Structure 1
């Protein structure tokens, strides 16, 4: 496929500063967008009122094109205004009780059967960052229209780098393939920024994973790597870890595209474009200036009526962090204050067209 370039600046779809459309969530992010049962669906991680995370889905109206802003949560039966989690919250004795993050939806095959899966990062620590227990990667499978969690993690870290998170999965060339982040500690206020992206593959998507290989080392510092088929090859969407607390110095923030062939786990396979899709320098809008994360790339079979050939969905970190100041600003506009939080997430869409 031809090189892709932005049609214009990113579109803000949602901000925690403006309140959350689902009454049972404080915020949401990490979008993964796919067509499911004939409708565009966005799977997200939602931050609940009890400060734990679970996975939820939003949908566009039937027949809507992907560059529509009209996303709405799949509601709980008989409870409009409340988002319905994909699965029940894990019990306190389970490995992912504190949170399910970063959904990655995949449709593939096991033998002669078509299978739908969501890979996710599970949190065993009450802390989201500067964590005290490692993240692992789990999976759920759709059966009879309902999602069922696999009972234990399917991918774990090593003793030197115990956290594995940010899974980006794809079914390509007859195998289940996952790119994920590994780090000694998820960086917050204090932990050093040490991330690398590893790659594994499996015939059935649950067992028999190959030995991990490093695609991007700590020197490059990438945090998410989402791969889509874009004939005649493949396109990878990259970002670095977000600067949640406005630390300085900190790695450059942005979104980058890379192209490659079937050497999915080889660094030499991926050629990163010289210019990022978006930059997060001082001139960037505040709503994503502290960095994008959890990106999802959808390459369309045919352009939309507006000429959009692909869409990037991503979460952003707002550069505005002072809750008292933001609360006063909202009250002056006749709006409720944002939820008390150390940082505020947004969700945006970047439309792409052939260069």
Structure 2
């Protein structure tokens, strides 16, 4: 299957080096966008002003079409912080919403961090799930839904879709999050579940050599598509695998790689002229497909910028404010492509 992407139209929604961030958060990443009760809703991970990783919700006005403008972030996270000492006490990331299915309420899957370390050896992630309470609140479970294994101790970046047999999850399996100077060791795996709580043994879907970090799986008028990202070069490591987005197609959301077309490059973020906010790559794609071939892709990029003083100069020029001290600077935005 072949396609010809249109010229890139890219705009940030929230940018750590932009003119403003929503009140109470320092950064936002990994958007997950859905039409819920006639209104576009985004679930997203956020780094709060109190230095906690939390899950948030943003919404567009009723009747607005999804794009980069108009999103309003709720002030409070969607669920309280995990208790101290719990498996996800280090923070909650990467939400993946699944609507009600087969008589079961909606779910939000997420990556939870147990360790104090965000990346490098000693960092540890597992995947959890939020379920709805009797008042509609989001409730976390005391145990993860999916954990790592020897050699790949961290699992994160869940993407869950409802299927006829129940639920299907693609996720990243890695020894740990990449530290400065390291090369990524990423594999995508896939697992099935009847009830979305207890998961069957996973199998590998994409190899380390391919290097995919996360994905989006969504229905189109022609079948199903999978958009894949290799992550971002958070720490500016040189050399580093080429970054961007790739696309595959299938007739159904199959767990079998052979049922999907060969990945084709949709976006190359290493070429000249790419906006700074995605200059070190993109991750966390969430796609809204239109019947006319347009795709609105929500994603997170890492600024192609050096030390903090360079970031400070960049932000002072654009907004006359100093940035928060950070080893890297993220932006969440939307790109429009026609396929």
TM-score, scaled to structure 2: 0.93
**Map of 1:269 onto structure 2:** 259
**Map of 1:85 onto structure 2:** 77
Three-state SS of the structure 1 residue aligned to 2:84 is coil
- Residue of structure 2 aligned with 1:163, choices 146, 154, 159: 154
**Map of 2:5 onto structure 1:** 5
Q: For 2:177 and 2:314, locate their aligned partners in 1 and report how far apart those are by CA, in whole Å.
A: 32
CA offset at residue 167 of structure 1?
Answer: 0.4
**Map of 2:203 onto structure 1:** 213
Pair 1:285–1:22, CA change in 2 (3 A): closer
**Map of 2:323 onto structure 1:** 338
1:97 matched to 2:89: yes
- Residue of structure 1 aligned with 2:278, choices 278, 288, 293: 288
Segment of structure 1 superposing worse, 312-321 or 275-284: 275-284
**Map of 1:26 onto structure 2:** 26
Three-state SS of the structure 1 residue aligned to 2:191 is strand
Q: For 1:319 and 1:178, locate their aligned partners in 2 and report how far apart those are by CA, in whole Å.
A: 31
Pair 1:333–1:288, CA change in 2 (3 A): closer
CA offset at residue 233 of structure 1?
Answer: 2.2
1:106 matched to 2:98: yes
Q: Deviations over 1:274-301 (max 9, x none)?
A: 332343334422210101011111224x
Q: For 1:66 and 1:40, locate their aligned partners in 2 and report how far apart those are by CA, in whole Å.
A: 7
CA offset at residue 334 of structure 1?
Answer: 5.9
- Which aligned segments of 4 or more residues in structure 1 are displaced greater than 6 angstroms? none
**Map of 1:80 onto structure 2:** none
Q: For 2:52 and 2:158, locate their aligned partners in 1 and report how far apart those are by CA, in whole Å.
A: 19
Q: For 1:7 and 1:329, locate their aligned partners in 2 and report how far apart those are by CA, in whole Å.
A: 26
CA RMSD of aligned residues (A): 2.1
Q: For 2:14 and 2:30, locate their aligned partners in 1 and report how far apart those are by CA, in whole Å.
A: 12
Three-state SS of the structure 2 residue aligned to 1:10 is strand
- Residue segments in structure 2 that go unaligned for 5+ positions in a row: none
CA offset at residue 36 of structure 1?
Answer: 1.9
Q: Deviations over 1:20-77 (max 9, x none)?
A: 4322111111000001232101111000123220000111111101135111112xxx
Pair 1:233–1:338, CA change in 2 (3 A): same
Q: For 2:155 and 2:184, locate their aligned partners in 1 and report how far apart those are by CA, in whole Å.
A: 15
1:246 matched to 2:236: yes
- Residue of structure 1 aligned with 2:289, choices 279, 299, 315: 299
Three-state SS of the structure 2 residue aligned to 1:225 is strand
Q: For 1:52 and 1:131, locate their aligned partners in 2 and report how far apart those are by CA, in whole Å.
A: 21
1:147 matched to 2:131: no
**Map of 1:347 onto structure 2:** 332
Please tell me whether the aligned partners of residues 185 and 191 of structure 1 are also in contact (alpha carbons under 8 angstroms).
Answer: no
- Residue segments in structure 1 that go unaligned for 5+ positions in a row: 75-82
**Map of 1:49 onto structure 2:** 49
**Map of 2:17 onto structure 1:** 17
Q: Give aligned pairs, total.
A: 338
**Map of 1:204 onto structure 2:** 195
Q: For 1:157 and 1:43, locate their aligned partners in 2 and report how far apart those are by CA, in whole Å.
A: 24
Q: Deviations over 1:181-236 (max 9, x none)?
A: 001121120443101000001111111x2221101011111111211122442100
Q: For 1:238 and 1:334, locate their aligned partners in 2 and report how far apart those are by CA, in whole Å.
A: 33
Pair 1:231–1:114, CA change in 2 (3 A): farther
1:279 matched to 2:263: no
* Equivalent runs, 1:320-331 vs 2, <5 Å: 320-331=305-316
